[in-house]
Chain A
Amino acid sequence: MHNIVIEPGRSEQNYWRDLWRYRELFWFLSWRDILVRYKQTVIGIAWSVLRPLLTMAVFTFIFGRLAKLPSGGVPYPLLVFAAMMPWQFFSNSLSESGNSLVGNANMISKIYFPRVVLPASTVIVSLVDFAISLVLFAGLMLWYRFVPDWKIVLLPAFLLLAFLASFGFGLWVAALNVKYRDFRFIVPFMVQFGLYISPVGFSSGVVPERWRLLYSLNPMVGVIDGFRYCVFGGQSAIYWPGFALSVALTGLVFATGLIYFRRTEKTFADVI
């Protein structure tokens, strides 16, 4: 027997229990988004293969060939691709979860469910894209006959970090998008700008030592450095103080994102 009591502030208390109750909806929504994404099979998969490969080619040409930045003995395309994976995961999640609430406005205004399900399921979809690029990456390593470091077993830990960063920012953007309808114009800019200030096309080693701590204020620096550290080992040493800062900031963004989202969530149906 379902017994529900509705009172002001009550949904706060039952939040996590409700989230568990609605877990099936969460899987169904993720499943829907994945299906839709790969529905036009050829285009869907081709797109998630082509995009990272093309970006990799361009970045390798600009930063590796033209600017001749050091790669620490690693084939430059691999260096770029190792960073591209977490970056695209992050940027996809950010733009998709930003739209997730407004895009499902009719669901929000017509039925109850913990709203956090929506941005969360879009991050899952980006995870599928990530898996595809992981396969690509394995192919690339074969091509270059590159043997990854044993530390690659740590990759899931850094993936978790990437997940927290993506979801944290995603929550912020999703909630702000509902409140400020012109916020969505800022998101593409944020993503584009983020690409330049993140060490995707180059190794963070090229950043002068005294700037590195400041550079690590960008949480994605920690994530990307971590990924490279896993794959290339000694050739891409982590700058630990900066890494710690990135991790701390990621945690902060995630926590505040969750708090802000939950605080505004109750009013979504009223304003959307």
Chain B
Amino acid sequence: MSDAIIKVQNLGKRYRIRHQQSGMNYVALRDVLAQKLKTAVNPFPRKSRPPSPAREDFWALQDVNFEVRPGEKVGLIGRNGAGKSTVLKLLSRITEPTRGRIEINGRVASLLEVGTGFHPELTGRENIFLNGAILGMGRQEIKRNFDEIVAFSEVEKFLDTPVKRYSSGMYVRLAFAVAAHLEPEILLVDEVLAVGDAQFQKKCLGKMDEVSKKQGRTIIFVSHNMATIVSFCQRGLLLKDGRIEADGDISQVVSHYLQESTRQDGQFRKEASNGQTKLEIEKIGLYKGGKISTLFSPEDTLAVRIDYQVRRRISGAQVAIEVFNELSECIFSSTDQDWSGEKPEVLPGRQAVECPIDLGFFKPGKYSIKVSSSVPNLEILDLVEDQLAFEVYDDHSPVLKLGQARKGIILPKIRWNKVS
């Protein structure tokens, strides 16, 4: 046998999608009964009628093959719906594969479970035991690590207080402390689903890395944040439409992915409308003085124009952009509601917004823009995965002459005053 700790062969996962109930995958008994009754009462069923809940097979994963050696840190990347989360779900046995085979030689734990199973009525002490058990620790293991977990979480004083009285910071610290003391051979981390903010996750990862330095823990990491992935993993797996598109050195795989998902012509136009979602972004363009452009000087103003269609009245919807530098670090984000005081009521119809960005504080270099729409803290309405690339060139202004060697990710032109 090979020395792989994870061995995946011809893996496939099929989901059945019902078209009628979009967004709901469970059925109402009421509807099923009504349907049965209708066909039972009607003595002459029309044979030509197709079966009513239109079903369609959807292969979330197909023919996926890979092996992971002990101690490897693998970054799993790809667009939404490419099958990243499905891979994790299959590896952690939450759901069964439709085809293929996975062999795992070690204990698996996943960080997407931080705080899962915490019960607000129970005390910190009780929750440590409960959460530990849920994460797969044995009673002895928890007992052995108990003091360490408590010390790490810094909540000793409140150990016998129900966690519902905890501040959110304490709650997260406790949850993390339990997760950080897991001793699995394989750790699955899904940034998209994990609880807590980026800061917290980073701390988590750092701690895990540190704890496992000696043992060389195997980690599979899913994230949309390329900067984190590149710094954390050595190997990348790129998934596209449920298949593996690239497998190899992380920076190569990431640049492959970025190249593929970045539009170089300064515009994006949705090819096929899904016709269903409440809000759909149809067109994005980067403009300079009314014309599509991808090359700008720091003196220019870049106008991002976003055309979208609203199909249903949405309360509190906003359109947002995020601007990334070449290292995939987000330098800032902005929304169309930043200046409005109250929650907007967005009415159905075609609409367009424009975001004029003064490029004065940009360092020369390559950038990309990501556009999305959401109701903050509630739902993501649409997210355009194609990023739009643009470049800010060096116009040899006095400030910029020094600029390239400057520290920092932005370069504001600040005029200093002499005060004495």
Contacts and interface: CB of A to CB of B under 8 A. Distances in A.
B92 interface: yes
B122 A111 contact: no
A107 B134 CA distance: 8
8 interchain residue pairs of minimum CB distance: A180-B29, A112-B93, A28-B133, A6-B102, A4-B104, A269-B94, A182-B28, A269-B95
Contact of A178 (B26, B101, B138): B26
Given A2-B106, A36-B119, A110-B112, A180 B93 contact: no
Given A5-B104, A107-B116, A107-B117, 18 more contacts: A1-B105, A3-B104, A3-B105, A4-B103, A4-B104, A8-B99, A11-B96, A110-B112, A111-B92, A111-B110, A111-B135, A112-B92, A112-B94, A176-B29, A178-B26, A269-B89, A270-B95, A272-B26
A25 interface: yes
Q: Which of A31, A180, A266 has the most CB of B within 10 A?
A: A180
Nearest to B114: A110
B27 interface: yes
A87 B135 CA distance: 36
A180 B94 contact: no
Interface in A216-258: none
A182 B138 CA distance: 37
A17 interface: no
A108 B121 CA distance: 20
B139 A24 contact: yes
Contact of A109 (B94, B107, B129, B138): B94
Contact of A270 (B15, B32, B110, B162): B15
Contacts of B91: 6
A271 B25 contact: yes
B98 interface: yes
A7 B12 CA distance: 10
Interface in A22-62: 24-25, 28-29, 31-32, 35-36, 39
A180 to B, nearest CB: 4
Nearest to B117: A107
A32 B107 CA distance: 25
A29 B119 CA distance: 11
A151 interface: no
Interface of A: 1-11, 24-25, 28-29, 31-32, 35-36, 39, 104, 106-112, 176, 178-183, 186, 266-267, 269-272
Contacts of A28: 129-130, 133-134
Interface string B8-49: 000000010000000001111110100000000000000000
Given A35-B126, A182-B30, A106 B116 contact: yes
B93 A24 contact: no
Contact of B26 (A31, A106, A111, A179): A179
Contacts of B28: 180-182
Given A32-B130, A107-B134, A270-B15, A7 B110 contact: no
Contacts of A106: 116-117
B113 interface: yes
B196 interface: no
A110 B94 contact: yes
Nearest to A272: B26
A242 to B, nearest CB: 31
Given A111-B135, A179-B27, A1 B106 contact: yes
Given A39-B121, A112-B94, A182-B30, A5 B134 contact: no
6 contacts: A4-B93, A7-B100, A32-B119, A107-B117, A111-B135, A180-B26
B97 interface: yes
B90 interface: yes
Contacts of B129: 28
A106 to B, nearest CB: 6
B113 A111 contact: yes
Given A32-B130, A39-B121, A110-B113, A271 B26 contact: yes
Contacts of B93: 4, 6, 11, 112
A4 B102 CA distance: 8
Contacts of A272: 26
